[in-house]
Amino acid sequence: MMRLLIICLLSLLSPLAQAALEASVDRTRLVEGESLELTLETPSAGRMSELDLTPLAEHFEVQGTRQLSLVSQINGRTTPVTRWVVTLTPLRTGFLVIPPISLGDASSQPISLHVLSAAQAAADQSAQLAPVFIDSEVDIETPYVQAQVLLTLRIYHSVSLFDDSTLSGLDIPNARVESLGPPRNFERLINGVRHGVIEIRYAIFPQHSGELEIPSQLFSATALQPGSNGRPSARSGRLVQVRSPSITLQVRGIPDSYPENAPWIPAKSLNLMQTWQPDPGIDLFSGEPLTRTLILSADGLNASQLPALQSLSADQTSQQLRQYADQPKLHTDSNDAGMRGVRHDSAALVALEEGSYNLPPIVVHWWNTTEDRLETA
């Protein structure tokens, strides 16, 4: 009788040795000529002279800066916190990106902005007075290639609509588009007027780096209006058509710091788990199978984007320890964060001789699109 010893090492990358630099803004949508505040914060003592603001000069004018020295107490431990507030005025309209700001070896994350021209702002205001108008937005304008972009389309109507509305399809060359469930219907009060809202959401996965345009979509419906007697009738409708604005994305390529031979996995979060059947701690006879299931789940990815995982590679299978893999099980669903993919890889491990056996660690490199950094599971 033998005892099969299995060791699985699941590790995460150690946190960055240097202090992090977090960036935030008081708003991401503004009109030309307006300013915004960029807040930079680090959990350490710092000086303004250590902060490199030169990347801002291309698209912004720095109107002023101020520094705040604070302290944070967590579990009775006092930590210095330095906060810088930078007042910026954009130099042009359109979609802009506040680039990463450096503090020593640390860098802040980029932040996307939409600067409207005065004409666009006026058009937006007048459009919202229309009985039917449409708006669209994305959660990020500078995604990584093959990473998820959430597109939200909202159709507002202050008049009743017949049940004949249509929305043109969304076809984007060099991108994969998936609908995130059926439309949602709710109400919202705008300028004191109650509007019905139809919300449609998509997950978009750019397949190439560079510029990618999300085209406009056409919404058509028949708006109910009173007849000659003041009451609505089947003949008292009028055709209404509104078109959403197009959106241009700047798709980033795979970072140079990503391991060259590792499959590219850009996700919001990723988790690696394992299960055993039976328990690997019990005594087994030689030739008796032990099934190991590796479960890889990721937010912001389809299950088909997750790599296959094996307990043993082809060159690690020996005459003493064999692996018999099952067909993988893939499952994708959606939630408020978009797509969530789950992959199950199961394999029966059979030891043909008595003894103890060590399995190599399972290592999965992935890019955290929320924190914009490389991680390992």
Identify whether residues 57 and 104 lie together within a single domain.
yes
Identify whether residues 247 and 132 lie together within a single domain.
yes
**Residue 6: inside a domain:** no
Identify whether residues 346 and 371 lie together within a single domain.
yes
Identify whether residues 55 and 133 lie together within a single domain.
no
Identify whether residues 265 and 221 lie together within a single domain.
no
**Whether the Cβ atoms of residue 98 and residue 208 lie closer than 8 Å to each other:** no
**Residue 298: inside a domain:** yes
pLDDT of residue 280: 67
Mean pLDDT value across residues 24-33:
82
Is the pLDDT at 68 greater than 80? The verdict is yes
**Residue 215: inside a domain:** yes
Least confident residue range of 42-46, 143-147, 238-242, 249-253: 42-46
pLDDT of residue 63: 86
**Count of the separate structural domains present in the chain:** 3
Indicate the pLDDT class of residue 2, thresholds 50, 70 and 90: very low
Cα 116–chain centre separation: 24
**Residue 296: inside a domain:** yes
Listing DSSP states for 341-361 in one string gives: EEEEEEEEEEESSSS---PPP
**Residue 219: inside a domain:** yes
Predicted TM-score (pTM) of the model is 0.63
Tokens 């690690």 -> residue:
316
Indicate the pLDDT class of residue 229, thresholds 50, 70 and 90: low
Q: Mean pLDDT, the chain, as a whole number?
A: 82
- Domain termination site, one of 230, 251, 272: 251
> What is the domain-level CATH number for residue 78?
2.60.40
Identify whether residues 107 and 41 lie together within a single domain.
yes
**Residue 317: inside a domain:** yes
pLDDT of residue 233: 53
- Domain termination site, one of 82, 116, 150: 116
pLDDT of residue 74: 55
Give residue 334's domain range: 259-376
Mean pLDDT value across residues 251-263:
94
Of 235, 339, 232, 359, nearest in space to 294 by CA: 359
Is the pLDDT at 7 greater than 70? The verdict is no
Q: Kind and range of the H or E element at 25? A: strand 22-25
**Residue 360: inside a domain:** yes
Identify whether residues 198 and 180 lie together within a single domain.
yes
**Residue 4: inside a domain:** no
- Tens digits of per-residue pLDDT, 97-140? 999 998 888 888 888 888 888 777 766 665 556 788 888 899 99
Label the pairing between strands 149-157 and 193-206.
Answer: antiparallel
Indicate the pLDDT class of residue 10, thresholds 50, 70 and 90: very low
The residue count for the chain: 377
Identify whether residues 263 and 244 lie together within a single domain.
no
pLDDT of residue 337: 80
Mean pLDDT value across residues 249-278:
93
Least confident residue range of 122-131, 154-163, 167-176: 122-131
- Tens digits of per-residue pLDDT, 335-355? 878 999 999 999 888 877 777
Mean pLDDT value across residues 31-41:
84
Identify whether residues 62 and 104 lie together within a single domain.
yes
Question: Which of the pair, 243 or 118, is modelled with greater confidence?
Answer: 243
Identify whether residues 152 and 170 lie together within a single domain.
yes
Largest distance between two CA atoms of the chain = 93
Identify whether residues 240 and 181 lie together within a single domain.
yes
Q: What distance in Å separates the CA atoms of residue 186 and residue 188, rounded to the nearest whole number? A: 7
Identify whether residues 242 and 270 lie together within a single domain.
no
Of all residues in the chain, what percent carry a pLDDT higher than 70?
A: 83
- Domain termination site, one of 56, 81, 116: 116
**Letter string b/e over residues 308-338, b meaning 16 or more CB atoms within 10 A of that residue's CB:** ebebbeeeeeeeebbbeeeeeeeebeeeebb
Question: Which of the pair, 84 or 17, is modelled with greater confidence?
Answer: 84
